[in-house]
Structure 1
Amino acid sequence: MELTENQDLFQAIFDSTANGITVIRPVYNEEREINDFSILFLNSHVLKQLDDLYYKGRLYSEVFPGIKENGILEKFINTAETGISTDFECKYTSNGLKFWFRFAAVKKDELLVITSENLTKKKKTEIALKSALETAEKQTRFYHSITNTTPDLVYVFDLSYKFTYANKALLAMWGKSAEDAIGKGLRDNGYEEWHAAMHEKEIDEVVASKKTIRGTVSFPHAELGSRVYDYIFAPVFNEDGEVEAIAGTTRDITEIKQAEEQQLLASRKIEESEATLRSMIDQTPSPTLVLMGDDLVIKQINKHMLAMIGRGEEIIGMPLIDVLPELRGQYVWTQVQNVYNEGMPFDQSEVLVQHNRTGVMRDYYYNLAYRPLIEDGKITGMIQVAVDVTEQVVARKKMEESENRFRVLVNASSDFVYRMNADWTVMRNLEGIDLQSDEGDVVFNWIDKFIYIEDQQKALKLITDAIENKKIFEMEHRALKPDGTLGWTFSRAIPILDDQNNIIEWFGAAGDISSQKEVQQIIKDSEEKFRQLADLVPQVIWTAKPDGYVDYYNKRWYEYTGLDEEKFGDESWVPMLHRDDVLPVLEAWYISVQNGSSYQLEFRLENKNTGLYRWFLSKAVPIRDKTGVIVRWFGTCTDIHEQKTITEKLESLVADRTKELQRSNEDLQQFAHVASHDLKEPVRKIKTFTSRLEEHLEGNLDESAARFIGRIHVAADRMFNMIDGVLMYSKINANLQKATLVDLNDVLKNIETDLEVSLQNTKGEIHYNDLPKLEGASVLLYQLFYNLINNSIKFAKNGVPPKITISSKIIMENQKVIALMTVEDNGIGFENEQSAQIFETFTRLNSKDVYEGTGLGLSLCKKIVERHGGSITAVGRPYAGAVFTIKLPLKQQEMGI
């Protein structure tokens, strides 16, 4: 009881201890047995575990309910009953949390003093450490198990290049035990010098860079011989982040390398095989393609097949039927499917296929060869070879048709058609039947029968030459007609050659040309008459072939040039031309010949007798047959030297006169400028002295005098404006303006600025939008629109603000692009009959006392428009406004205006 007498002292001592201290008193039941304890004191260490700080007098098991479940209360009761102190560790659960405590219970009189030490952190640390140790041991076992069972080489170096660990695979490769190998360096374990030096350098690099490195090396195995290894060196770090060791793994990749080499070799062989196949397909002269898969996708196709179907390489990878959908339902597509599905090769010539490879569906004929591609006993695709024989088939059919027509024509022809053997000894008809004489004998000596005796020698010579040189025999010869008269025959025979270029037979025809001969004679006589007439003409007359080659001159040409009468073509007439005329003449003549158009040109020709050149006018026209084809050119050369000389003199006189007129015009322009300047001076003095007189008599002028002075001012101003107008009008034609691209929108903006005061005074408006850009003189175009707009403001109706609207559109006129513009106002207008009169110089339609002006504004507008190659017209009605229509080309033909 003495312990409890000074409670404050007791509490202070209890709180100062490092462990928990509890003082409890036994509580007895009815049988005088201890069944619980009453709490007297708890120090601060125990109080920290309680949510409810009020504990005195409460039961121990109530404050610490977990003591009954884990046997703590039972041990305290035993100490209280026996007086034997107890000391034990126990796990204690409170509010779902686990704690470990060490309890010591000592009985003092009737009280029980319990000290408790919280072992929770220690226990958790021990448990964690134990778990970590167990995990480490387990990992060590796993590590040893893995490193010793893996075929890879696993090892660890210290920083002095010595092995601190080597797994069984590495020891087996060395053929050593761990005791013999661990703690030794690379060279001690059998590494060659280069190999050891390389790894030591790599270890230094890992230590310095703290990074993993990887490499491949080949060295001998103790049992397996030379092997290839892939290795990795990785740094092992201590707690300070410094490298304390180097861990390495090495894997035997010999089989992998061999497999890769074999795979690479196989891949190369496959690629070479595919390349060879591709090259064979690309180089084969026949159109070829490879189809693969059930969809028969185009795997490969050569350029010949692409050209034949009219497509590009974009079709590679597409199903054939998508590329040529027109094949569906045709015989050829059925055969393609049979080859792929049944594996039966297909070969057939001249197969009809309809498709539109040129964009138009038509018939084609092909020699086709299809072969299935079989891999591992399964059809995987097919190869197609298609040779286009359309031309041959069509040609053969045409030939058959031609042969039939030929036989019909031959039989219908009046010509004698025949065949002869190689040496011309036997003649047969077209059907191969030997020709017979009138007596029925085979014709051998047919020359005597069909060629007149006087022409036989020539015939034999031509026949011999044709046989020896294997060339066509042609001859006009005479022959006796059935009626006994002598006529002309044209015979022609063509040799038929075999593959060895030997003559098999001759095919010939003979026709009666007696009438043609008679016509030729008539033409010859006519040409002779033409030549005689041409020689009588004083002009040079010439003719040329359709290609422009001159083949005839009359006598006048040779008399003038002195050339040999056998000379024709360019070699005769071109050298006779003046050197300045050669190129123009040749170019003009070439164009005429090419276009079939008439030829006319002036040029100079040299007279060989005098050595001088004279001017000629040459003309030529093409002579055409009934079908319009040129068969000959007929030309003349006429001496125009005197006329040409007179013309040149006239041109010189005109040029001189033009210069004089230009000089006179410049003088007149200078005079107009000086005159206008001199005229302005007296007008200016009239205005000055009138103003002074008005100032001098200010206040003394009656109404009439003031009105007279005002009229003097108006007249002087009008005179001043008239002089400016005359000067401006004269300058319009005098100065050449440079054509530039002018934006009419900008021109109108400038005019609005310049007329700002007039527009404000009259409340006038100008409306325009999207006017064109065109080539012209910007100064003149400004003057054009300024005069038109100023006129509209000037001639506005009294009390009505002027409104000017300018619109435009682009039209085609006389094959030129034209800007059509209208300037419309709401002014006083004019009579429509006066629409042409208003553009005349000094024309006025209204009184000068009412409307100011010189009468030159619209005439200036007309001159400006005409200088730009355009036109201006006007339409008006009295007091209903006026509309001016302007047409200007967008582009000027010349740079100067």
Structure 2
Amino acid sequence: MELINNLDLFQTVFNSAPNGIAVLKSLYDKKGKVEDFSILLFNTYIINWINIADYKGKRFSEVFSKIEKTNILQKIIETAETGITTNFENWYGDENAKKWFKFTTVKQGELLVVTMEDITEKKNAENALNNALIDAEKQKRLYNSIINATPDLVYVFDLDYKFTYANKALLSMWGKTAEDAIGRGLRENGYEDWHAEMHEQEIDTVVAEKRAVRGTVSFPHAELGRRIYDYILVPVFNEKGEVEVVAGTTRDITEIKLAEEKLQQSESRFRKMIHQTPAPTLVLRGDDLIIEQINTHMLQMIGRGQEVIGMRLIDVLPELEGQYVWEQLLKVYNEGIPFDQSEVLVPHNRTGELKDYYYNLAYRPLIEDGQITGMIQVAVEVTQQVVARQKMEESESRFRALVNASSDLVYRMDADWMIMQNLEGDGRLSNSGEKRVNWLDKFIHPNDLRRAVDLISKSIIEKSIFEMEHRVINPDDSIGWVFSRVVPILDDQEKIIEWFGASSDITSQKELQNVITESEEKFRQLADLVPQIIWTANPDGFVDYYNSRWYEYTGYEEHEFGDSSWISKLHPDDVYLVSKGWHESVHAGSSYQLEFRLRNANTGGYRWFLSKAVPIKDKEGIINKWFGTCTDIHEQKSTTEKLEILVAERTKELQRSNDDLQQFAHVASHDLKEPIRKIKTFVSRLEDHLEGQLDESASKFFDRIHVAADRMFNMIDGVLAYSKINADSQKATIVDLNETIKNIETDLEIVLQKTGAKIYYQDLPVLEGASVLLYQLFYNLINNSIKFAKEDTASEIIITAKEQIEEDKKFAIITVEDNGIGFDLDQTGRIFETFTRLNSKDRYEGTGLGLSLCKKIAERHGGSITASGVPNKGAVFIITLPFEQKEKDI
């Protein structure tokens, strides 16, 4: 009951308030900004004023529809957003019925309380008071305009250009009395026609535009002769706001003008002197050090234009504040002590970027009447000279550090190349007798001495750089390799005064080169064992190697090859087709396969060959080599009568060829790995030899050599696995793919636990196939999904299957889908190519053969495999396999 009474009391007080009170709730737009308010409560004052009883829940701007022309709503929104109480005055209503209110807006939690006090009468009273003040000011201006206690000329015109008032100064200038002048026009008071006409036009302008007009004019004085006057004509308004008279004042500025002319002449001479000064110069005035004058050289130096004149120097170059140069500038202005200093460092913004500049500076104070009124600054930039000297000093310092840190032997020799002296760590020559030796005796192996002497003689004659790889005898009598580079030092007469040289130990590099050479030689020996013609070409398609089979067949001399030698061996009818096909493959970067005839050097006849070539690409997909073969298929092209015999013979030949190729693959596996082992061995020995001398970059290079060698091991194993897919036949058996996936889960148990990957499958088909190959197919796909998972996201691999009838044959359509990194659709055509990698080998391991194997396995089963993907959303592989195999050997 007490609460109800209190509420009744509140409602009574709320409604009895003499001002309007509104309680509002904020309404927000989609961006969370306040755009309007919902009305919760009005007191009786507002309800009676707006005459709307059904207001609750309506928008504030809807109830007060005329608020759009004011900023009332925006002010209330500011309080809602900031929580700061606001007091402001504003009008509301139509132009013809405008009322003024004082608004007070207070935020209470989520609500706003807006109080509106009607101040219309107060505003009207203020406007009336202002109008009264304007009338009073008019009277004051009129009174001041007719005073006579000023030497200025004071006068009043009526609208007919007649003088209604002229003060004593003006009457004195005319030499007239008021009775003779008042009521008369300009011409009657001695004004020339041009002068009178000018003022009459100005009076018309004042009346028409209700504004003052000011000007300067020269005319004669009754006693002082011709003078220069500055005048102003102003309108005087009546109570209706109309111009009733035009008042004017005129001041004699003859002496001021003469002084200004003299000052301008003086300043002009000073300004010319500043601008003709060849050094960058500027003049500063006043306590704020305003730029009064600045020549072109200084503007160019600071990268600014004439707009800086009249600006404070610190505003033009704010970066100077706090710098040494600014402190010295203030000291000169405040104390009057000149400042001169060379090569002063001044960081400042000349081209949009803060840079260091160096200047020779000179500051001089400007003193007038014993007071410092400004200063002159001269600044000559010497940045290039200072930087050049610093670079020279830095270069010398780096040279000393380089000599000290270098693992090479650094030395100097006399002009005749006889006496050598080692350099100390600071770049100076050592004077110890044990380091003064004969270079030839110390560093040249006897077997290289003749060649070294010839090259030295040539360098001395031609004054050229000497470079040579040569052997040396080490202190332990072992033979090492050194690369020496010696540069002649010439005087201004182009005469050699001494030689500066360095020698580097390249023994390990030489050993590595020998290993690589040995590896290449073994490749050539293995290639010569193959019955096919084997060849390689550079990325542009120019052949750079043939095996011995080519030379045996064509009769060419050993190593006779190039861009066009093979064309002459083609049958004339095949030249165009072969050249066109090879050109298209090279430019498209695609595999090449074509049949053509080659002329045999021994018989003079032509035989048919099947030529194949594939591009060898780097990790970026750029071709760096072509590898090709030419297989004799002449027997396959023979007549029908001999077909069966020739097919049998060719089958036997192909079997032997395949056996040879298998043998070649196994031999290549062993012999190609052996050079890699040697590379890793010698790299390790090189690391041990240089232990403690390698910087971070060199260590990374060694690590990359190890990684590349390991990758080559894996690549060779992958190639062998790829070649064996077609070589080994498999018996077709009944394969339950559910069991196959289950076995793969078991084999990948550790990987699945480590990565958190999950494999989902059920109701997979049972079909005929080679269990080993089908295991390999699905193992590669699942392993790829785990390997190419997104960061911080465990792989989810979903395997589903359905049946499909095609040409009365039943097929299983098996889908393997993952949530990994996926791939672009334009890469779909390349994903099953041999050695193709869509991602960096540094981030994802592998040989690029996995999906190629999957494709071969599917095709051997009479099926197919396709792929699709979306970047960062996963990949989908669809395998089509027949339920029954035609042949029992796959």
TM-score category of the 2 structures, normalised to the smaller one: 0.3 to 0.5
Q: Which has the larger radius of gyration?
A: 1
TM-score relative to the length of structure 1 = 0.35
TM-score relative to the length of structure 2 = 0.35
